[in-house]
Structure 1
Amino acid sequence: MLLRVFCPGRLLLLLPLLLLPLLLLLPARSVMAQNAGDTTSVACPPPRVPRLCVELDARQAVDPAAGPLTFRWDMGDGTRLTGPTVAHCYAERRRYTVRLDVVDEASGEVRPAEKLLDVDFTQQIVVNFRAADTVRVGQPVAFDALDSQLPACENMVVIWDFRDGATSTGPRAEHRFRRPGTYAVRMALRANGPGACPDSHCVSRTVVVLP
């Protein structure tokens, strides 16, 4: 079925009705720019680096009639903690197995591996890069996004916008600023896959360039 649109003084337009919802749902310009991996027309917040920390609580898994118990936690990185509740921060972004041993204080009986918990930091989205905060005009500046990751995505590309008209790609980049000033350097990740992968994950850091 066709919809007739009459425009005085203009040609008759014929648009299929099925196309109208698609036209109405076209994304706004800023969204289209973000989906294209553009770093110039979208807001780029500071880097997002999730903390490598956990808080564990074994109190809900204990029978109140069991009597006094001691909880021994092996956090999977060589750290051992004691208590019904523990908190710990890891040094590396990887996967850990946390082991909980429970000791019956009355009998001295040890129940090893009462709980085994999987703590996986490798599936976190990390959008971050490193660079010097202050440099001189003409000095080579290294930019490094090696710890950034989009775990559920494929074919990730790193896009740099140095905010002085120059751009680059790749997990590492080097740039020389030709004029003094303050530059909010932007880094965007682009990838293919489900969910948020088609969007541009963009962050920025300020680099001060001295004469």
Structure 2
Amino acid sequence: MALVVRDDSGAPLNTHRDTMRVTVNAAPIADAGPALVVAPDEDFVLSAHASVDPDGAIASYVWRLPDGTTATQERVDHQIDAPGTYRIGLRVEDNFSGGAAADNDEVFVTVNDAPVAQAGADRLVAPGDPVILDASASFDPDGQIVQYQWTFDDGFADQELAQVERSYATPGTWTAQLVVTDSAGVANSTVSDRITVRVNAAPVADARPDIETDALQVAFDGSGSAGADGDALIYTWDFGDGSPPRTGQQITHVYPRSDTFPVTLQIDDGLGMSNATAIHATTVVVNARPVAEAGGNRAVCSGKSILFDACDSIDPDGGLLLYQWDFGDGTTSDLVNPSKIYETPGASAVTLRIRNGKDTEWGRDMDRVAVLVRKGPIAHAGDDLTVYANQSIRFDGSRSTDRDGAVNAFSRIMGDGGTASGARPEYRFETPGTYTVTLTIQGEAIGNRSPLDTDTAHFTVLPAPSQTIAAQDRAAAGLPAACAAEVQGLDSAQVTDHT
């Protein structure tokens, strides 16, 4: 730039010229760099390296940071702990001596808010049941989820889906992990969540082996049952006899009768799964013991055959019985009705043992009778009777015996002052009352033994019945005539006809 001054003298040297140089400073250009996306507390670099001064150099840098502080370096390392979008300002000045020029720029730093992975609640399923794993509740607070990935620890293939449907074949406790990734692409863009899938193991019911017993009260024990997962079990017994089911691990039940009963034990682990229950069936056979009946005590003469009879022995279950007689003198028999001759006088205990075809401890029974073996004859006066006065009675002493089979004489004292002789005499009691009839028999006289023996029978004599007939003494011909008969001294149930 030139300056010329001139005076007004008009003289030749009335002007003077001077020059100066003017420099027009070009302002610097601030460049804070591209926008950044980082994770919380992640180190990032603010760089003003791209800032320029067209006609000089950048003399100073001032960064205005989100926490209110400043930094004066061209390159600044920084971190921000809270998610959000932050504006960071940059001011640069050049080195122009005539007065520095400045420029401003800013950069946006986004601190990523991590996505939230939600794999759902833990699951309890049975083997083979469908399981839907759903990650749709996952979200990204400041963007969107761009990837889902499920991984499994039971060998099932990884799945890159938000929702996966699958099943588990093997009981146990398994883990399913969900990994979600957002669009930021920074350190906290990927997060995970996991759930536990418990695949229920079915319980095992054990009602123990079949039971066979002769007792109506039966004890049951389900303690051999087990829940593979350690769950508390509920035991329910059905006893097979129509009674209501009952619960309990160990329990007793009283059966109403002898029979075969199908028993079931159901156990429940209480989890409500399709495989939460198990059933075990067993059988209870309640046997009725056979009943041995050897007959009554017996008296017999030595050398005389005696017939034993076990026909009244029974097996309530209808089984075939086997018999074993022990006659008390070292001899035995397996017949139902064996005969036996005792040669030696005295008392013998005869034992009858029976058993059914099962030959178990509850399939046996025994009975004992006493046999008195005498040398002399044995009188048998007959059974006790109830009769009416003046009723003809036939006495029977034919069951009396002697060693040689023949009774030589029979005599009876009737108890009312009368007597009778013979094996089967007839007699009438005229007066009501109670009478003891004594039978005396005479057998063979052998050695020093007495040939006589006595036995008694008791008779109750009731008043003889009588009847009264009442009738019209006159009646018209061809018309009914009324009459009535009354029987006294006889139970009305015994009156069968009036003629």
TM-score, normalization by structure 1: 0.41
TM-score, normalization by structure 2: 0.21
| Larger gyration radius, structure 1 or structure 2 | 2
